[in-house]
């Protein structure tokens, strides 16, 4: 039994049924400790995205409980959701960048939302951009960047707020193997400085190479729960 304080995510018998009867997740239970790096694998439609949506409270569980650092997110009010999301960095397969804003402004967005002062924003954005190796692209529009660079902007935005938890949904989905490895290395680096990382992917080769814990979903069920 793990100590409760170090558990970042806990799923307790969670099911998610969408209107129309399809059950995306059924009776999923697991825990992720602080500082862990975990891969979430499975086919398309296995429920990976649904599971992540439950963590950032884009969806609510039909049954069971989802705990984030001890807080039952099924029970929180709509108004408290923004505060929860500010502690989670999220990276998307399609980057979700704003193409009418510079790289700097894209990365600064979470800090502006959290109410940081101008000078602090500049400092943190540059720190995040240097971590992903894009220091010289700060004034560029995302459209002028390659796919791998856009993904790194997305990662910089996810970590700029120094979240304790980093979620990534198919972060290497559109990238060639070389770039994928580079992106994974970045996530690994964040994990090494203490960030809890959860990555949904179907790139099994990458998963096996990194030798991290794996949660495998099959048709909404957790099949290998180490």
Rounded CA-CA distance 158/79 in Å is 21
Using rule CB under 8 A, residue 85 touches other proteins: yes
Using rule CB under 8 A, residue 118 touches other proteins: yes
Specify the residue, 194 or 211, whose C-beta has the smaller distance to other proteins: 194
Which residue of 53, 126, 212, 221 would you call a contact of other proteins, by CB under 8 A? Answer: 53
Q: In what order do the strands lie in the sheet with 221-225?
A: 88-91, 165-169, 196-200, 37-41, 213-218, 221-225
Which residue of 44, 119, 143, 211 would you call a contact of other proteins, by CB under 8 A? Answer: 44
Please report, as residue ranges, which positions from 130 to 159 form the binding site for other proteins (by CB under 8 A).
Answer: 157
Specify the residue, 89 or 191, whose C-beta has the smaller distance to other proteins: 89
Q: In what order do the strands lie in the sheet with 63-68?
A: 23-33, 7-17, 63-68, 71-72
Which residue of 9, 37, 51, 134 would you call a contact of other proteins, by CB under 8 A? Answer: 51
Nearest to 88 by CA among 213, 203, 197: 197
In the block, tokens 């791998």 appear at 148
Specify the residue, 80 or 209, whose C-beta has the smaller distance to other proteins: 80
Q: Report the half-sphere exposure of 67 (CA within 13 A, side-chain side).
A: 17
Specify the residue, 118 or 225, whose C-beta has the smaller distance to other proteins: 118
Rounded CA-CA distance 158/124 in Å is 12
Rounded CA-CA distance 216/54 in Å is 17
Smallest distance from other proteins to CB 60, Å: 11
Smallest distance from other proteins to CB 162, Å: 7
- Are 106 and 153 in contact by the 8 Å Cβ rule? The answer is yes
**Which residues of this protein are in contact with other proteins, per CB under 8 A?**
24-25, 44-53, 56, 58, 68-71, 79, 82-87, 90, 92-94, 96-98, 109-110, 112-118, 120, 157, 161-164, 169-170, 173
């Amino acid at each position: 039994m793990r100590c409760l304080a170090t558990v970042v995510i806990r799923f307790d018998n969670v099911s998610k049924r969408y209107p129309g009867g399809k059950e995306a997740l059924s009776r999923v239970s697991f825990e992720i400790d602080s500082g862990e790096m975990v891969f979430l694998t499975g086919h398309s439609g296995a429920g990976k995205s649904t599971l992540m949506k439950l963590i950032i409270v884009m969806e609510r569980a039909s049954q069971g409980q989802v705990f984030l650092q001890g807080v039952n997110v099924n029970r929180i009010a709509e108004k408290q959701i923004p505060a929860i999301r500010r502690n989670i960095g999220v990276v998307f397969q399609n980057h979700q960048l704003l193409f009418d804003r510079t790289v700097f402004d894209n990365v600064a967005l979470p800090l502006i939302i959290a109410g940081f002062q101008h000078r602090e924003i500049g400092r943190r954005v540059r720190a995040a951009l240097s971590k992903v190796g894009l220091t010289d692209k700060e004034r560029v529009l995302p459209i002028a960047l390659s796919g791998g660079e856009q993904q790194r902007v997305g990662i910089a935005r996810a970590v700029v707020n120094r979240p304790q938890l980093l979620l990534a949904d198919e972060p290497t989905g559109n990238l060639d193997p070389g770039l994928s490895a580079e992106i994974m290395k970045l996530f690994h680096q964040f994990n090494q400085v203490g960030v809890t990382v959860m990555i949904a992917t179907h790139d099994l080769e990458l998963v096996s190479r990194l030798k991290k814990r794996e949660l495998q979903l099959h048709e909404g069920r957790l099949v290998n729960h180490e």
